[in-house]
């Protein structure tokens, strides 16, 4: 049974970090708070609400778009500054009741392996600003997904994404409204095509088509490992074709 013994709402990042770095207590940072819904927590915890400490703005930064970690997913859907692909993928993250509560920073920290928005952020070359007790650093989203320990006693502050490029996305789910079993997302860049897939690893990942065959996707009631691998090959080829490049 979940027991929240203390609720904190610090007004600054430094105060939030001080609360998170305490020893002797189990502390959970929350953004929109949707991750706590239905979660089984046996220990007593304290929560640190980051809504006042982190920005929620979305701004044009020239060749990039800067988004505060507390920007709601619905804010992405509604903003004309956000690249069209990311607006579409944010819309797919869930119903409007979730999108109006869930935040971009919380979505990144959760690292859902089936998140099409995370795949879109990967191909838009997302850079994540992280604040810790020693200061603020910036890492790529792919680095953060591969090493979640980067968020130990640290907070996602903002996200920067590249603009432009031809984009495409393809997905397979049990129904059109269902969470995708596997999805592929692509974008053209001056350095070449970027391709990301969901549902075939522990997080969404950037891949090249030949790398898909070497992956070992998890099996579940929606499909076997081989079925997911086959879907990834097919969807990746479809995305690359829409971008004008053969798989």
CATH of the domain at 202: 3.30.390.50
Asked if pLDDT for residue 79 goes beyond 80, the answer is yes
Please provide the average confidence, as pLDDT, over all residues in the chain.
Answer: 92
Q: Is residue 247 part of a domain?
A: no
Which residue, of 139, 162, 185, is where some domain finishes? 162
Token pair for residue 111? 């690292």
Q: Is residue 133 part of a domain?
A: yes
Q: Is residue 190 part of a domain?
A: yes
Q: How far is CA 75 from the centre of its chain?
A: 15
Q: Which residue has the higher pLDDT, 142 or 174?
A: 142
- Among residues of the chain, what percentage have pLDDT more than 90? 78
Which residue, of 162, 195, 227, is where some domain finishes? 162
Confidence bin at 40 (pLDDT 50/70/90): low
DSSP assignment, residue 174? S
Q: Is residue 236 part of a domain?
A: yes
99 in the same domain as 35: no
**What is the structure's pLDDT at 131?**
96
Q: Which structural domain, as residue segments, surrounds residue 86?
A: 58-162
The count of structural domains within the chain is: 3
Asked if pLDDT for residue 98 goes beyond 80, the answer is yes
Asked if pLDDT for residue 38 goes beyond 70, the answer is no
Confidence bin at 138 (pLDDT 50/70/90): very high
Q: How far apart are CA 204 and CA 74, in angstroms?
A: 21
108 in the same domain as 135: yes
**What is the structure's pLDDT at 1?**
46
Which residue, of 102, 131, 162, is where some domain finishes? 162
Q: Which helix (H) or strand (E) holds 160?
A: strand 154-162
Please state, as a whole number, how many other Cβ atoms lie within 10 Å of the Cβ of residue 75: 20
Asked if pLDDT for residue 2 goes beyond 90, the answer is no
């Amino acid at each position: 049974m979940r027991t929240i013994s203390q609720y904190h709402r610090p007004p600054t990042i430094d105060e939030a970090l001080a609360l998170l770095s305490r020893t002797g207590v189990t502390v959970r940072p929350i953004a929109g708070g949707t991750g706590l819904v239905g979660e089984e927590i046996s220990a007593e915890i304290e929560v640190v609400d980051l809504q006042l400490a982190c920005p929620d703005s979305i701004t044009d930064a020239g060749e990039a778009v800067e988004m505060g970690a507390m920007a709601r997913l619905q804010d992405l859907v509604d903003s004309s500054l956000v690249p069209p692909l990311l607006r579409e993928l944010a819309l797919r993250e869930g119903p409007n009741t979730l999108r109006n509560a869930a935040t971009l920073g919380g979505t990144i920290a959760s690292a859902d392996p089936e998140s099409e928005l995370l795949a879109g952020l990967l191909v838009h070359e997302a850079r994540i600003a992280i604040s810790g007790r020693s200061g603020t650093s910036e890492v790529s989203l792919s680095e953060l997904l591969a090493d979640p320990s980067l968020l130990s006693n640290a907070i996602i502050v903002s996200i920067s994404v590249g603009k432009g490029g031809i984009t495409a996305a393809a997905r397979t789910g049990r129904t059109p409204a269902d969470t995708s079993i596997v999805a592929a997302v692509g974008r053209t860049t001056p350095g070449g095509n970027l391709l990301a897939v969901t549902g075939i690893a522990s997080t969404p990942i950037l891949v090249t088509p030949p790398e898909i065959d070497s992956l070992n996707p998890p099996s579940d009631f929606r499909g076997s490992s081989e079925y997911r691998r086959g879907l990834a090959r097919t969807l990746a080829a479809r995305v690359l074709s829409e971008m004008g490049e053969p798989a």
